[in-house]
Amino acid sequence: MRTMMMVRTELRASPIHGIGVFLSEHVRKGQLIWRFDSRIDQVFSDAELSELPTILHEFLRTYSTLHGDLRIWVLCGDNGRHFNHSDYPNTTSLGIAFGDDVAAEDLPAGTELTSDYRTICDAMRLEGTDFIQPQSANC
């Protein structure tokens, strides 16, 4: 079965913040790391989020990415939701919420995967949300 993470990873303590996702294998520049998969990932509308209990709403706002044009939130169902933010990420996202993520450079096993939250989540731009702080979340 195809999974969201397209490479082997593991979760462990991060020097950036909390929990991070670390490669268990070498990855080449341009190699596919993450891809949306509806069998694993979940999608929530703004309306659905607003109807949830506060604690679940906060969880989804922390660990999901917003696609602003569609007003939907994508929750990664695997280790992908633990990418930490970096102003100089080692992955490149090819789109908001549903875009493939690829390696921005050759990455040896043991490397913590990072992304720039401003390029993967519209909440960063559209809502002026200040999520650019070290945390194990997308936005």
Any idea what the CATH number is for the domain that residue 28 is in? 2.170.270.10
Query: For the chain, what is the largest distance between any 2 Cα atoms, rounded to a whole number of angstroms?
Result: 43
Please state the domain count of the chain.
1
pLDDT of residue 1: 30
Residue 139 lies in a domain: no
Range of the domain at 29: 9-37+77-126
In a domain, 42, yes or no: no
- Nearest of 84, 67, 76 to residue 35 by alpha carbon: 76
Summarised one tens digit per residue, pLDDT across range 25-37 is 999 999 999 999 9
Residue 115 and residue 34 in contact, taking contact as beta carbons nearer than 8 Å: no
Q: What percent of the chain has pLDDT over 90?
A: 53
pLDDT for 92-103, tens place per residue? 988 877 888 999
Q: What is the pLDDT of residue 127?
A: 59
Q: Is the pLDDT of residue 128 over 80?
A: no
